[in-house]
Amino acid sequence: MEKYLQKPTDRVLCSYQHGVYDVTDFLPDHPGGKELIEQYKGKDITVIFKDENSHPHSQNAKRILAQYKTGQVAGDNKESMREGEERPYPLRVGKILYFDDFTIDLGKGYFYQIWKLSYKQYLEVIDNPVTIPFYVPLFDSKFLDMFSRNKWYTILAIWVPIAIYHFYLGLTYNYDVNSIVDDYVKLSSSSFSMFVVFSILAFAVLSWSLAEYSLHRFLFHMEKWMPDQALYRYLAFIIHGVHHALPMDGERLVFPPSLGAMMYYVLTTVIYTFLPGNAGRIFVTGFIAGYLYYDMMHYYLHHCNPSIEYFKNLKSNHNKHHYVSDAKGFGITNKIWDYLFDTKFN
């Protein structure tokens, strides 16, 4: 068996239990980083795959592994699954994903195929993440599909100038609003105070972190409470479901600018009602900064391997949210609100 696994080959083969797995296509999508698997090229991963100290892999991880099975170790004729093995679910054959009672054709617009699903089937799609080594269109039209993809840096390119502009307005413009706070944030005012400006910014970032938790828990995971209607499933899928179905698709991860623009409109309308004038603009700056930190952190946790313990911990928390239970671990940049609202992982 060892000889077979270690034959010079470009493919990365390993054994688990008594099966042989070709995990080459999975390497770039491994949430723990491809290097960890490469170390096990040609080796058995049965022990390390369950190792409590390294990382005890989830049921979903076992299902994903099962997708890559290519054979049995020589001399082992046991047909049935062994303890600790899972069947590949959904099973992918070419571009077709086979679920128990429905299929998804990954060569066609994924979005339209959500319409025909029942609520239960929709949950199966988002609760059984898959890693796909080819491009999956969301829409059949290439033009429409273009709008479903975003590189992480486009978010910075769009929102950093908007945040700077608000900061500039907040510090300099005279909104002529009868607010005591405004006197302390206007550069032209004799009462200008850096302390007040930074306090508003800090308060806005903290407010964002609560918004991050609430949006993720109640809007992005609206499937937990939404009425059983196809229209809502469409909405839930486009907002966040697609990210759970294909968690390692790096172009469908950050918040789409079009949705961001709608949120911006709603939130600024609310914020300026309660906090008009300069202080409101400074608050919006901090709120956008908090949002940018969130979106960049989200991308980082999926596609990079942090070396600092704090970020490792956040990554692990987020992986659990995807692969263990999406009813917990809603915080991306921190776990404070998960602790306070009792949605933390133990």
Residues at the contact surface with ligand HEM, assessed by CB under 6 A: 14, 23, 26, 30-32, 36-37, 40, 45, 48-49, 54-55, 57-58, 60-61, 64-65, 312, 315-316, 319, 323
Answer whether 331's CB lies under 8 Å from 212's CB: yes
Answer whether 51's CB lies under 8 Å from 75's CB: no
Q: Give me the residue label for tokens 């306070």.
A: 340
Buried b (16+ CB within 10 A) or exposed e, 143-161: eebeebbbebeebeeebee
Query: Is the Cβ of residue 20 or residue 64 nearer to ligand HEM in the bound state?
Result: 64
Element (H, E) at 277: helix 277-303
Query: Is the Cβ of residue 199 or residue 316 nearer to ligand HEM in the bound state?
Result: 316
Q: Could you give phi then psi for residue 191, rounded to 5 degrees?
A: -90, 5
Residue 227 and residue 140: Cα distance in Å, rounded? 27
Answer whether 139's CB lies under 8 Å from 117's CB: no
- For ligand HEM, the nearest residue by Cβ is 32
Element (H, E) at 91: strand 91-93
CB of 49 to ligand HEM, least distance (A): 6
Residue 249 and residue 135: Cα distance in Å, rounded? 9
Q: Give me the residue label for tokens 């034959």.
A: 7
Query: Is the Cβ of residue 69 or residue 149 nearer to ligand HEM in the bound state?
Result: 69
Query: Is the Cβ of residue 54 or residue 193 nearer to ligand HEM in the bound state?
Result: 54
CB of 130 to ligand HEM, least distance (A): 10
CB of 187 to ligand HEM, least distance (A): 44
CB of 56 to ligand HEM, least distance (A): 7
Query: Is the Cβ of residue 31 or residue 290 nearer to ligand HEM in the bound state?
Result: 31
- Phi-psi region at 251: left, alpha or beta (left = phi > 0; alpha = psi -120 to 50): alpha
CB of 48 to ligand HEM, least distance (A): 5
CB of 345 to ligand HEM, least distance (A): 11
Query: Is the Cβ of residue 30 or residue 221 nearer to ligand HEM in the bound state?
Result: 30
β-pair type (13-16, 69-72): unpaired
Q: Could you give phi then psi for residue 269, rounded to 5 degrees?
A: -60, -45
Q: Give me the residue label for tokens 């080459």.
A: 24
Query: Is the Cβ of residue 21 or residue 220 nearer to ligand HEM in the bound state?
Result: 21
CB of 236 to ligand HEM, least distance (A): 22
